[in-house]
């Protein structure tokens, strides 16, 4: 395990920039194949945590020839400033597209207990899309409480709190270009 020095804080790197880039390339291959005949793909980026993963993923999809994608954004908050789930989610921003009859790919940063995604699935399902699939950067199987099907998963992790590549702790560290384990400051 390598470490990443940012000012006075040392993070233990879990997934390097190169590992993430390579894995996204593999996922994009699969997703581009699966949606090649879809005319109505809407990618829903779950803000805030998925914004970097989603932007890298959709550019990888474009390089694989999957274009004319509609992008939408949905903002949910769950943990506040804690590293433990509060058991509640709040939708701060809903999608703008009409997804009735369209293929939807939700892009999420991490599935932990599965609460956020199971609630989001219900919200999206109620808008009558043709299909709903989920791409997630990370998954913590040991924390799973709510059954969630992840169609495209980049990495499985242990029960550790991670930061970077879009994921925060108390609003910080999203800008790190890699995924690291948060050990406290």
- Which range of residues in 14-22, 61-69, 92-100, 163-171 is near ligand 5GP by CB under 6 A? 163-171
β-pair partners for 73: 45
**178: contact with ligand 5GP by CB under 6 A:** no
Is the Cβ of residue 27 or residue 167 nearer to ligand 5GP in the bound state? 167
Residues in the chain: 185
Is the Cβ of residue 35 or residue 169 nearer to ligand 5GP in the bound state? 169
Query: How far apart are alpha carbons 73 and 117 in whole angstroms?
Result: 15
What are 48's two structure tokens? 């805030």
Tell me the three state secondary structure of residue 26. Answer: helix
Tokens 């593999």 locate to: 26
67-86 positions binding ligand 5GP, by CB under 6 A? 78-79, 85
**168: contact with ligand 5GP by CB under 6 A:** yes
Give the strand pairing for 179-181 and 152-156.
Answer: unpaired
- Which range of residues in 28-36, 93-101, 114-122, 124-132 is near ligand 5GP by CB under 6 A? 114-122
Nearest to 152 by CA among 176, 168, 132: 132
The residue annotated as part of the active site, out of 112, 151, 159, 168, is 112
* Smallest distance, ligand 5GP to C-beta of residue 106, A: 11
Query: How far apart are alpha carbons 14 and 182 in whole angstroms?
Result: 10
- Which range of residues in 13-21, 51-59, 127-135, 157-165 is near ligand 5GP by CB under 6 A? 157-165
Is the Cβ of residue 103 or residue 108 nearer to ligand 5GP in the bound state? 108
94 is catalytic: no
Please state, as a whole number, how many other Cβ atoms lie within 10 Å of the Cβ of residue 109.
Answer: 26
Is the Cβ of residue 66 or residue 89 nearer to ligand 5GP in the bound state? 89
Instruction: By CB under 6 A, name the one of 27, 162, 176, 179 that touches ligand 5GP.
Output: 162
5 with 176: CB under 8 angstroms?
A: no
Instruction: By CB under 6 A, name the one of 11, 24, 114, 132 that touches ligand 5GP.
Output: 114
Tell me the three state secondary structure of residue 67. Answer: coil
Q: Annotated catalytic sites, by residue?
A: 112
């Amino acid at each position: 395990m390598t470490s990443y020095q940012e000012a006075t804080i040392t993070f233990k790197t879990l997934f390097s920039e190169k590992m993430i880039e390579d894995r996204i390339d593999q996922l994009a291959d699969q997703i581009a194949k699966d949606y090649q005949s879809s005319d109505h793909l809407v990618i829903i980026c779950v803000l805030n945590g998925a914004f970097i993963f989603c932007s890298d993923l959709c550019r990888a999809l474009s390089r694989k020839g999957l274009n004319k994608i509609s992008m939408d954004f949905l903002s949910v908050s769950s943990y506040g400033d804690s590293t433990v789930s509060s058991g509640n989610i709040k939708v701060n921003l809903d999608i703008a597209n009409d997804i009735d009859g369209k293929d939807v790919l939700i892009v999420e940063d991490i599935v932990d207990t599965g609460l956020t995604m199971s609630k989001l699935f219900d919200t999206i399902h109620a808008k009558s899309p043709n299909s709903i699939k989920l791409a997630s950067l990370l998954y913590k199987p040991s924390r799973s409480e709510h059954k969630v099907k992840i169609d495209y998963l980049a990495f499985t992790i242990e029960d550790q709190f991670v930061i970077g590549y879009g994921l925060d702790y108390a609003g910080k560290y999203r800008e790190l270009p890699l995924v690291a384990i948060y050990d406290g400051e």
